[in-house]
Amino acid sequence: WVCDPHRLMKKDCLVYSFGSKGQYDFEDGLIDIVGQHCEIHVFDFGSFDRTENSERNIHYHQWGLGSSYDRQYNDAFINGEEILSFSEIQDKLKHKGRTIDLLKIDCERCEWANYKDWVGVDARQILIEIHGIPSPVKATKSYRLPMNATDFFDALTEQSFVTFNKEVNVHDRECYEFSFLKLDEPFWADRLTPISD
Protein backbone atom coordinates (compact mmCIF):
# COMPACT_ATOMS: atom_id res chain seq x y z
CA TRP A 1 0.00 0.00 0.00
CA VAL A 2 1.15 3.53 -0.82
CA CYS A 3 -0.29 6.44 1.14
CA ASP A 4 -1.52 9.37 -0.98
CA PRO A 5 0.21 8.39 -4.26
CA HIS A 6 -0.93 11.69 -5.80
CA ARG A 7 1.72 13.40 -3.65
CA LEU A 8 4.34 11.66 -5.79
CA MET A 9 3.27 13.67 -8.83
CA LYS A 10 6.14 16.09 -8.34
CA LYS A 11 9.06 16.22 -10.70
CA ASP A 12 11.80 15.15 -8.27
CA CYS A 13 10.11 11.94 -7.06
CA LEU A 14 12.62 9.24 -6.05
CA VAL A 15 11.83 5.57 -5.37
CA TYR A 16 14.12 2.75 -4.21
CA SER A 17 12.84 -0.81 -4.64
CA PHE A 18 14.94 -3.66 -3.20
CA GLY A 19 14.22 -7.26 -4.22
CA SER A 20 12.41 -7.53 -7.54
CA LYS A 21 13.11 -11.09 -8.72
CA GLY A 22 12.29 -9.73 -12.17
CA GLN A 23 8.75 -8.77 -11.21
CA TYR A 24 7.95 -5.15 -12.00
CA ASP A 25 4.27 -5.06 -10.99
CA PHE A 26 4.86 -2.50 -8.23
CA GLU A 27 7.03 -0.21 -10.35
CA ASP A 28 4.79 -0.41 -13.42
CA GLY A 29 1.69 0.21 -11.30
CA LEU A 30 3.31 3.21 -9.66
CA ILE A 31 4.20 4.72 -13.04
CA ASP A 32 0.66 4.13 -14.28
CA ILE A 33 -0.66 6.15 -11.31
CA VAL A 34 1.89 8.97 -10.93
CA GLY A 35 3.61 9.12 -14.32
CA GLN A 36 7.10 8.52 -15.69
CA HIS A 37 8.71 11.55 -14.06
CA CYS A 38 9.26 9.42 -10.94
CA GLU A 39 12.88 8.19 -10.87
CA ILE A 40 12.71 4.53 -9.81
CA HIS A 41 15.78 2.48 -8.86
CA VAL A 42 15.37 -1.30 -8.61
CA PHE A 43 17.99 -3.47 -6.88
CA ASP A 44 18.46 -7.25 -6.96
CA PHE A 45 21.24 -9.82 -7.35
CA GLY A 46 19.80 -11.44 -10.46
CA SER A 47 19.96 -10.33 -14.06
CA PHE A 48 16.43 -8.90 -14.16
CA ASP A 49 16.82 -5.76 -16.25
CA ARG A 50 14.41 -5.37 -19.18
CA THR A 51 14.44 -3.25 -22.32
CA GLU A 52 11.39 -1.13 -21.46
CA ASN A 53 12.93 0.05 -18.18
CA SER A 54 14.83 2.98 -19.69
CA GLU A 55 11.77 4.43 -21.42
CA ARG A 56 9.83 4.20 -18.13
CA ASN A 57 12.53 5.91 -15.99
CA ILE A 58 13.29 2.64 -14.17
CA HIS A 59 16.97 2.06 -13.44
CA TYR A 60 18.02 -1.51 -12.63
CA HIS A 61 21.10 -2.21 -10.49
CA GLN A 62 22.41 -5.73 -9.99
CA TRP A 63 23.38 -5.02 -6.38
CA GLY A 64 22.24 -6.66 -3.19
CA LEU A 65 21.39 -4.73 -0.04
CA GLY A 66 24.00 -5.64 2.54
CA SER A 67 24.75 -4.46 6.03
CA SER A 68 27.42 -2.00 7.16
CA TYR A 69 27.43 -3.48 10.68
CA ASP A 70 26.59 -7.20 10.33
CA ARG A 71 29.33 -8.85 8.29
CA GLN A 72 28.11 -12.29 9.38
CA TYR A 73 24.95 -11.62 7.38
CA ASN A 74 26.93 -10.49 4.36
CA ASP A 75 29.20 -13.54 4.49
CA ALA A 76 26.41 -16.07 5.08
CA PHE A 77 23.98 -15.06 2.37
CA ILE A 78 26.12 -13.71 -0.44
CA ASN A 79 27.98 -15.87 -2.95
CA GLY A 80 30.19 -13.47 -4.90
CA GLU A 81 27.42 -11.06 -5.90
CA GLU A 82 27.93 -7.34 -5.48
CA ILE A 83 26.57 -6.36 -2.10
CA LEU A 84 26.49 -2.78 -0.88
CA SER A 85 25.29 -1.07 2.25
CA PHE A 86 22.53 1.51 1.93
CA SER A 87 25.03 4.34 2.32
CA GLU A 88 27.31 2.87 -0.37
CA ILE A 89 24.34 2.67 -2.75
CA GLN A 90 23.43 6.30 -2.11
CA ASP A 91 27.07 7.31 -2.67
CA LYS A 92 27.29 5.38 -5.94
CA LEU A 93 24.07 6.93 -7.25
CA LYS A 94 24.96 10.40 -5.90
CA HIS A 95 21.69 10.49 -3.94
CA LYS A 96 23.06 11.62 -0.56
CA GLY A 97 20.84 14.41 0.73
CA ARG A 98 17.89 13.55 -1.53
CA THR A 99 14.52 12.60 -0.10
CA ILE A 100 13.41 9.07 -0.96
CA ASP A 101 9.66 9.29 -1.47
CA LEU A 102 9.14 5.51 -1.37
CA LEU A 103 11.54 2.93 0.02
CA LYS A 104 10.33 -0.59 -0.79
CA ILE A 105 12.23 -3.50 0.75
CA ASP A 106 11.53 -7.17 0.01
CA CYS A 107 14.96 -8.74 0.28
CA GLU A 108 14.23 -12.12 1.89
CA ARG A 109 15.32 -11.57 5.51
CA CYS A 110 17.92 -8.88 4.85
CA GLU A 111 15.64 -6.42 6.68
CA TRP A 112 16.72 -7.80 10.06
CA ALA A 113 20.44 -7.46 9.24
CA ASN A 114 20.49 -3.97 7.74
CA TYR A 115 17.58 -1.93 9.11
CA LYS A 116 19.93 0.30 11.12
CA ASP A 117 21.48 1.41 7.81
CA TRP A 118 18.25 2.69 6.23
CA VAL A 119 15.86 3.50 9.09
CA GLY A 120 17.36 6.97 9.59
CA VAL A 121 17.55 8.08 5.95
CA ASP A 122 15.29 10.82 4.62
CA ALA A 123 12.46 8.57 3.41
CA ARG A 124 8.79 9.57 3.43
CA GLN A 125 7.31 6.05 3.22
CA ILE A 126 8.75 2.60 3.82
CA LEU A 127 7.02 -0.45 2.38
CA ILE A 128 8.59 -3.64 3.67
CA GLU A 129 7.94 -7.35 3.74
CA ILE A 130 9.06 -8.91 7.01
CA HIS A 131 10.24 -12.52 6.67
CA GLY A 132 9.72 -14.49 9.85
CA ILE A 133 10.51 -13.18 13.31
CA PRO A 134 13.99 -13.42 14.84
CA SER A 135 14.43 -14.76 18.35
CA PRO A 136 15.94 -12.67 21.16
CA VAL A 137 17.75 -15.74 22.56
CA LYS A 138 19.03 -17.76 19.58
CA ALA A 139 19.64 -17.84 15.87
CA THR A 140 16.66 -18.74 13.67
CA LYS A 141 16.07 -19.15 9.96
CA SER A 142 14.80 -15.56 9.99
CA TYR A 143 18.08 -14.18 11.30
CA ARG A 144 21.37 -15.83 12.19
CA LEU A 145 21.96 -13.87 15.40
CA PRO A 146 19.76 -13.40 18.46
CA MET A 147 17.67 -10.27 17.99
CA ASN A 148 14.68 -8.71 19.66
CA ALA A 149 12.22 -7.81 16.87
CA THR A 150 10.85 -4.94 18.93
CA ASP A 151 14.20 -3.14 18.38
CA PHE A 152 13.32 -3.01 14.67
CA PHE A 153 9.89 -1.48 15.26
CA ASP A 154 11.18 0.84 18.00
CA ALA A 155 13.81 2.19 15.57
CA LEU A 156 11.06 3.05 13.08
CA THR A 157 9.02 4.81 15.77
CA GLU A 158 12.08 6.75 16.95
CA GLN A 159 12.44 8.04 13.37
CA SER A 160 8.80 9.27 13.39
CA PHE A 161 7.33 6.42 11.32
CA VAL A 162 3.84 5.07 11.96
CA THR A 163 2.26 1.93 10.54
CA PHE A 164 -0.58 2.72 8.16
CA ASN A 165 -1.07 -0.76 6.76
CA LYS A 166 -0.11 -4.34 7.59
CA GLU A 167 -1.21 -7.65 6.21
CA VAL A 168 -0.07 -11.23 6.08
CA ASN A 169 1.34 -12.54 2.82
CA VAL A 170 -1.29 -15.06 1.69
CA HIS A 171 1.38 -17.14 -0.08
CA ASP A 172 3.66 -17.43 2.96
CA ARG A 173 2.15 -17.02 6.42
CA GLU A 174 5.57 -16.28 7.95
CA CYS A 175 5.78 -13.07 5.91
CA TYR A 176 4.05 -9.79 6.74
CA GLU A 177 3.80 -6.67 4.64
CA PHE A 178 4.04 -3.38 6.53
CA SER A 179 3.64 0.16 5.24
CA PHE A 180 5.12 2.99 7.28
CA LEU A 181 4.61 6.73 6.88
CA LYS A 182 6.95 9.36 8.30
CA LEU A 183 5.04 12.05 10.15
CA ASP A 184 6.31 15.56 10.83
CA GLU A 185 7.38 16.72 14.29
CA PRO A 186 4.17 18.67 15.10
CA PHE A 187 2.23 15.38 14.99
CA TRP A 188 4.52 13.86 17.60
CA ALA A 189 4.69 16.94 19.81
CA ASP A 190 1.01 16.66 20.67
CA ARG A 191 1.38 13.00 21.55
CA LEU A 192 4.47 13.40 23.71
CA THR A 193 3.00 16.09 25.93
CA PRO A 194 2.14 14.66 29.36
CA ILE A 195 -1.54 14.62 30.21
CA SER A 196 -2.19 17.15 32.96
CA ASP A 197 -4.22 16.27 36.03
Q: What is the domain partition of the chain in residue ranges?
A: 5-192
**Beta-carbon neighbour count of residue 157 at 10 Å?**
14
What's the CATH architecture for 5-192? 3-Layer(aba) Sandwich (3.40)
SS3 136: coil
Which pLDDT belongs to residue 73? Answer: 72
48-63 exposure pattern, b = at least 16 Cβ within 10 A, e = fewer: bbeeebeebbbebbeb
**Beta-carbon neighbour count of residue 78 at 10 Å?**
14
Which pLDDT belongs to residue 133? Answer: 82
106-137 exposure pattern, b = at least 16 Cβ within 10 A, e = fewer: bbebbbbbbbebbbebebbbbbbbbbbebeee
Helix (H), strand (E) at residue 178: strand 172-182
Which pLDDT belongs to residue 24? Answer: 92
Which pLDDT belongs to residue 151? Answer: 93
Which pLDDT belongs to residue 186? Answer: 79
Which pLDDT belongs to residue 196? Answer: 55
Distance CA 16, CA 95 (A): 11
Which pLDDT belongs to residue 191? Answer: 65
65-77 exposure pattern, b = at least 16 Cβ within 10 A, e = fewer: bbbeebeebbeeb
Q: What is the DSSP letter of 196?
A: P
pLDDT in tens, the chain (197 residues): 889 888 888 778 999 999 988 889 999 999 999 888 899 999 998 888 888 888 889 999 999 898 888 877 777 655 667 889 999 999 999 999 999 999 999 987 789 889 999 999 999 999 999 988 888 888 777 677 778 889 999 999 999 999 999 998 888 888 899 999 999 877 777 665 555 54
Which pLDDT belongs to residue 194? Answer: 55
Which pLDDT belongs to residue 79? Answer: 63
Q: What is the DSSP letter of 154?
A: H
